Amino acid sequence: MHIEVHTHALLDELHKLASFSACPEPVPAVTRVVFTREDQEARTWLTERFEAAGLAVRADAIGNTFARWAPPGCDATAPAIGTGSHADAIPHAGMYDGTVGVLGGLEAVRALQRAGHTPARPIDVVLFTSEEPTRFGLGCTGSRTLCGNLAPDTLAGLRDEQGVSFDEARQSAGFSGAISDVPLPPSAYAGFVELHIEQGPTLEQDGVDLGVVTAIAAPAAARFVVEGQGGHAGGVLMPDRHDALCAAAELTLAIERLAQASPSPDCVATVGELAVHPGAVNSIPSRTELSLDLRDIDHDNRDAVLADIQQAARDIAQRRGVTMKGRVLNADAPARCDAAVISALKQAAQDAGYSHRTMVSRAYHDSLFMAGRFPTGMLFIPCRNGVSHRPDEFVEPDHLEAGVATLARTLALLSA
């Protein structure tokens, strides 16, 4: 089958999608938080692109959007093959994280249409709601709920920093209906494949075109609130202090040390957020709040390091005369990708003449949850210097073309 990818037209679409942004810096910097104006503009424009390709579009009660290709000759009642990703972006991010899987999935379908392919079963391009944890503190809320991994009332009750609940935010964005109707049965999809940038340096360092993912790391997230005594920066002598920021700083270094000391090379830990109260130059911090993002491919090791971090927090609190309350937001299991989807990806890369290797994903993705309900795989393309979640995130057009061409062939194999 002759697969023709319109790479430059696809890049134009990626740049257009990037223009829906709240970021003060110009494209390629992007900020697009779930259910904001930019997110809704992006969704509207994507729906137009899906419909222009002849796909039938529907959205569920939380904004997961399904663009279905079921041409004449296809068994429209058969379990579909899905592809897709997310279009939300953390603050000051790049323009390829997630969007390559959404628009690349659409371009793969258009390439199959150009090739005159008729799938035996429908093919869906899926846009997942809120893969990033930015607004509600939990990542992948759309795919978690779709796969029955997140109880509807738990989702509805998540609140952002302004106290707006997920339920209020989704309704004000025009998504209504019962969240309990969102989960799909295992029969909904016979397979799912997500195209994504690697968000790491391995493919580029190895000089390999494509990564076939075998496993996806298990993320855990927690928040620690540290309460000290605060006080006057001049009046309180050092031995009398119970400084909430110094305690948080010691915990942050303990987190780094415990992840570095872990026997698993895949264990990574990050304190990405720190809030200081009252935040005055001449007032000893009385309260701090910090976030923990902890991941590993090895589930047991990840949980062992989490337990060590919680113990370190207790020891520091006791020694410094502060309180430290830790709340685990999520501690997910890692995912194994499906063997049949992996071999279809390998076959497709081979047929298309691209070099490829198997690898693990250290970032999490909607596929982490899709893999819990449907046979799932991921296809990585290199990103320059492995950089992601930064405005200088970049994908070479040739690599984008390789990913989309291989995705198209994989969808053809899986939907035969």
Rounded CA separation 399/179 (Å): 38
Residue in the shown chain whose Cβ atom is closest to ligand HGY: 363
Q: Which is nearer to ligand HGY, 132 or 401 (CB)?
A: 132
313 sits near ligand HGY (criterion: CB under 6 A):
no
As beta bridge partners, residue 290 has 224, 274
With a CB cutoff of 8 Å and minimum separation 6, the contacts of 269 are: 255, 256, 258, 259, 292, 293, 294, 295, 305, 309
With a CB cutoff of 8 Å and minimum separation 6, the contacts of 6 are: 107, 110, 111
Q: Is 285 helix (H, G, I), strand (E, B) or coil?
A: coil
Q: From residue 411, how far is each of 347, 373, 374 by CA, in Å?
A: 11, 18, 15
CB of 383 to ligand HGY, least distance (A): 12
Which range touches Mn ion (CB under 5 A), out of 96-104, 261-269, 289-297, 342-350?
96-104
**Residues in 364-403 at the binding interface with ligand HGY, rule: CB under 6 A:** 364
Q: Which is nearer to ligand HGY, 28 or 119 (CB)?
A: 28
**Residues in 122-181 at the binding interface with ligand HGY, rule: CB under 6 A:** 131-132, 139
364 contact choice in Mn ion, ligand HGY, none (CB below 5 to 8 Å, kind-dependent)? ligand HGY
139 contact choice in ligand HGY, Mn ion, none (CB below 5 to 8 Å, kind-dependent)? ligand HGY
97 sits near Mn ion (criterion: CB under 5 A):
yes
Q: From residue 264, how far is each of 267, 301, 330, 338, 344 by CA, in Å?
A: 6, 7, 20, 24, 30
152 contact choice in ligand HGY, Mn ion, none (CB below 5 to 8 Å, kind-dependent)? none
As beta bridge partners, residue 228 has none
CB of 116 to Mn ion, least distance (A): 32
Which one-letter DSSP state was computed for residue 14? H
What's CA 65's distance to the chain center, in Å?
16
Which range touches Mn ion (CB under 5 A), out of 76-84, 97-105, 236-244, 375-383?
97-105
Candidates 82, 98, 200, 285: give the one binding Mn ion (CB under 5 A): 98
88 sits near ligand HGY (criterion: CB under 6 A):
no
With a CB cutoff of 8 Å and minimum separation 6, the contacts of 52 are: none
Q: Which is nearer to ligand HGY, 171 or 385 (CB)?
A: 385
Q: Note every long-range contact of 17-21, with CB atoms under 8 Å and residues 24 or more positions apart, other chains counting.
A: 17/42, 17/45, 17/46, 17/87, 17/95, 17/99, 17/102, 17/103, 18/95, 18/99, 20/45, 21/89
Q: Which is nearer to ligand HGY, 105 or 139 (CB)?
A: 139
Q: Which is nearer to ligand HGY, 139 or 183 (CB)?
A: 139
363 sits near ligand HGY (criterion: CB under 6 A):
yes
Residues that bind ligand HGY (CB under 6 A): 131-132, 139, 363-364
